[in-house]
Structures are given as structure tokens and as C-alpha cells.
Amino acid sequence: MKHEKIIIIDFGGQYAHLIASRIRRQQVLAEIHQPDEVSFETLSDTAVKGIILSGGPQSVYDADSPKVDTRIFELDKPILGICYGHQFMNASMNGKVTPATAFSREYGRAELTHEHNCPLFKDIPKTSVFWMSHGDEVSKLGDGFIGVGNTKDCKNGAVWNADKNFFGIQFHPEVTHSEYGNQLLKNFLDICEVSGDWTIEQFLAEHSKELAEKIGNKNVFLFVSGGVDSSVCFAFLTKILGAERVKGLFVDNGLLRADEKEFVQQSLTAIGADLTTLEEAETFLGNLKGLSEPEAKRNVIGNTFLDVQKKFFAANKLDEDWILAQGTIYPDTIESGGTKNSSTIKTHHNRVPEIQKLIDEGKVIEPVADLYKDEVRELGTLLGLPKELVWRHPFPGPGLGVRTLCSNEQIEAELPNKKFKEHEYTVLPNKSVGVQGDFRTYRHPAVLMTNETNISTLEKIATEIINHDENVNRVILPLGTQTGFETATVNQCDINHERLDILKRADKIVTETLLQQNLYQSVWQFPTVLVPVSFQTGQESIVLRPINSIDAMSASVGKLPWSFFESVTEKILEDERISKVFLDITSKPPGTIEWE
């Protein structure tokens, strides 16, 4: 069946594939193409009803920045440019793009006001929240464009060429927390006059055939974690191949949450998995000994998984008749620099070099790598998986390995007193991963001093501080007392059993309290993070990271009752090894969901 389609030109933005996901939710097929590889003939095809130019990590004025054939602007097709795409389109039509000033850089929430009855903003309030992530801006409009939207920091936040049906927007409508992002994309699809004929049911049918052809007569071994991604993979492959040809391999890597192994074994056995469990905790912890750098830890975890798999295959005489499967989903490939022009935000453990080599050689399959978390859950429901498994909180493949922060040195630091507007804060000496302007950042967390308890307000304050302070990519709030922040100690440490036990205890308190207070489904995910920073007492701090999201590509802070945070903080601080408990009030972007 030949579908009508929207083509997305991928300039390497972290959200390029998320655009496709949003389009597909409108039952319209979206295809992603590289700017220097897509042919003009492909773009000219009558099935292509519109073109979207994605964001990207580079600057359009750089000599090596990605470019697409500018003849696309001569086609009689609607075009939507997003972020870099907006800048590229204007620059290609005699406009100008320049670096944004310190006060016009925007990462996160921004209020945009539109005007001139632009059809892209049909049924969208005059002023609404959209998500920004940019360090450049259009300073002179391209030929035929007028400004139709702005924020307080970005004059040309939205532009329109009415004669050509071209639209440029500096913000990201595809990000979940752009309040009217879906409406804006729906408006663009209406402008493109697409009928909509693509569904998850068609994905299941079409990909079942493709996977069956790719696997051929081989059997499949799937690394399973008990999370939704690998569980749906298992059910998907079993439906295609039959239960006798699909085996699950669960590895206890020592980085699991409390009682995790038992849950995984029970839940996967319940759906008919042929499951083998390997006890490899000492192997993983031994390989992680002495490591502190996040990328090094992720690489070791990924490579150790591969070593364990090889050892198991050899011991059980599994030969070329077997192929490896893993539950990688789109965000994992994107943040790992998995599209040609994208910048690495973090290397997923399923994307370390050795595994990537196997993927390139066709020895690894990834049945849900084209889907986002919400689509994986929809597929899982379609395949008949139980609700408690489909809607379980996501848990990263490297497990607590990326929630146990480490340091290769001992740091004693006096903390600065800083202020932006009326907001007082200090900056800690340790660092965490973030994503700003499509690039990975490795910067410091700020500690906000305030009595404010409205999480939406705190989230706005965090965005303002991060946009203001170039040394910061995350803001946290002390829970309990806000005294004792004159100095801080970063303790030299790696991952070990004692530190993991501290984290497991705190994580269990959080999970049990969520369940007891009937709040588990009120958040999408809730990482609990161990940070080797102390303040006069104890050796560690705990960071609570409640998240609301749909697909992990963007996220806001989970809006839980303040009494919940008071309750878990009191219980966590009963452990004298814990110095402070913090609440992470950073959206994504600019902070990643995980701290590493």
C-alpha cells in the first residue's frame, strides 16, 4: 500500500524522530531522510504532501553545517522549518541567522504570542507555552516572510510566507510539553491536505513481515530486563516466530532495584517467556571498579553485557543459527548520536561500539527501535500484555549504574552565593548531563533557596536560572532544612555494594510510598539518584527526580503533593549516611531525565 506521507529532513536534532512520532499519531506516515542523501526526485513525488525541516545541533552559518537541496523551496509543497530548519529556510531565502545573545538563548519553557491569523496557529490561544532549545536566532527574515509569533526573548519565534505556504518556528512543537504542539502539527497536516491512513495496527502487520524476512530460519535470544520495552519485544517476536524460537536471557548485573530480580522472573514467566537468569553481579561491579566518568561506565556496562552474552552462547553451543535481539527504542538511538547529524547526549548501553558493530553486520535486531515509549505501550496492549507490565515505570538498561554518581577525586568547596532576579541559589562542584540546543552539556547543578512549594512555579524558576547561568544545566531544591550550604564535599568513590545498598533503600522508600499513597500512575517515571556530595554530615545525598512524560524525549517535573516529598524525605534521612535530600525541578530540556 502506498501511503500519503510527510518527509522530515533530519538535520540531526535530538527531536527529529519525535516529529515523526507526532505525525504518526495523526495517522499520517512520516519518513525521515538525511539532507545530503535524499534525492530531489523523492521530495518531488506526488505522495509527498509536505516537508518538515528538523532542528539540529549546528549553526547554519558554519561551513560544515548540514544542507539540503534548496530546490525544495521551488516545489509547490507546504514546508515547516523547526529550530535549525527555520533558520536554514530563512538563510536560504536571503535572510540572516546570528548567535543569540546571553538573554535571548532559550532552553525549556517559553510563552509565545502569535498574530496575523496565521493558519499554523488555528485553534491555539493567543499566548501559550512552547518548548525552546536554541543558541542562534533569525535576525533578518527571508524573502516573503513576516513575523507572526514572538517570546519575550525571541522576536522571530514564528514566521510565515503566505504565498508559498512556508512556515518557520524557533520552538519545538513536537516536544510533549509544548502545550499546543500537537494542534500546531495537526494544523500543518491540514495545510498539507493529507487524509491519514497509518496506524499502529499497520505497523504491527508491516513490521511482522519485515522481521520474519530478516530473521529467516534463525532463532532469537533476547536480553530482557522486565521493563516494557524488552517485554513487548518478547511478545512481538513470539507472535512472529512462535515461542519455541524465542528465548529470554535475564542478567542480574548487581545494578537492579530492591526485589527487582524476583519481579522480572515472575512477570516474564507469567507471559510465557522461556527465561534463563545469569548471576553476574560480581562481574559487572568488578569491571566498574575505579570508574567515575559517566560515558566510561555506560561503555563498560554495555561491553560487559556483550561479554556475558558471548560466554553464555559459547557455554550453551549457540552458533550462527541464533541472532541477538534487544529492546532499544527511538530515544536511545537518538541520544546516542544515532542519526547522521545528531550530537551524542549520552551513549546508551545498547549502542556501545561492539554492539553497534554487530548491528551494522546484521547480527542484532531491534523490533521496536522505530517506536517511542507511548507507541511501545500501545503495541504491548495490542499484543495482549497485562496492564501492570505495560504501564510499569521505565528503568534504564544500565540500571542503578547511571543513578549512582561517582567521583575520581575528593573536592572540598566553598559554595558561592548567587542571585538572579529575586531567586537566591548556589552552585555545587559536581556535574551532571544535560541537553541544550541539541548538544550534550556536562555542567553543574544549582541549589535553589526558596520556600516556594508550587512545582509548576519552581520549574519556571529553574528554566530562568539555567538560561541565565551558563555554568548550570540543572536546578535542585533542598527538601527539609535549607541551612548548611556554606561548604560542600565531593567524596571520591566508585560503584560498590555499600553505596548501591544506600540507593536501593532510598529507591524502595520512594516506590513503596508512591504505591501506598496511590500515586504510582501519577508520574511517568521516578529516578532516585545517589550523589557523592555531603554537607557537614553524612557522605551522600539523594536526589528525587519525579517525571511526567509520554516518550522520554521531553519531560516536566512530576506534580506530586508536597506532603509526599516531606514523607519520603523524613524516611530517607533516617539513614545517617545521607547528608541531604533534594528535589530535581528541571524539565527536559535542558536536563536529561537521568543524571548520567
Q: Which residues are catalytic?
A: 83, 172, 174
Does residue 21 contact residue 375 with C-beta atoms inside 8 Å? yes
Strand 487-490 to 533-534 pairing = antiparallel
Q: Give the whole-angstrom CA distance, residue 475 versus residue 513.
A: 24
Polymer length in residues for the chain: 596
Q: Tell me which DSSP letter residue 551 carries.
A: S
Q: Tell me which DSSP letter residue 96 carries.
A: E
CA nearest neighbour of 133 among 182, 167, 175? 175
Count of other CB atoms within 10 angstroms of residue 384: 10
CA nearest neighbour of 295 among 249, 367, 351, 243? 351
CA nearest neighbour of 87 among 181, 200, 171, 16? 171
DSSP alpha helix (H) spans, 326-447 = 330-335, 353-360, 373-382, 387-390
- Crossing angle of the two packed helices 228-241 and 373-382, in degrees rounded to 10: 40
Q: Give the whole-angstrom CA distance, residue 558 versus residue 308.
A: 36
Q: Which residues of 19-28 are buried (b: 16+ CB within 10 A; e: fewer)?
A: bbbbbbbbbb
Q: Give the whole-angstrom CA distance, residue 131 versus residue 175.
A: 7
Q: Give the whole-angstrom CA distance, residue 239 versus residue 246.
A: 10
Quote the cell numbers at residue 197.
Answer: 491512513
Write down the residue that cell numbers 535486531 correspond to. 365
SS3 of residue 43 by DSSP: helix
Write down the residue that cell numbers 487524509 correspond to. 195
Q: Give the whole-angstrom CA distance, residue 156 versus residue 86.
A: 10
Does residue 167 contact residue 160 with C-beta atoms inside 8 Å? yes
User: How many distinct helices (H) and strands (E) make up the chain?
Assistant: 16, 29
Q: Tell me which DSSP letter residue 540 carries.
A: E
CA nearest neighbour of 133 among 7, 15, 10, 22? 15
How large is the greatest C-alpha to C-alpha distance in the chain, in angstroms? 69
Does residue 425 contact residue 464 with C-beta atoms inside 8 Å? no
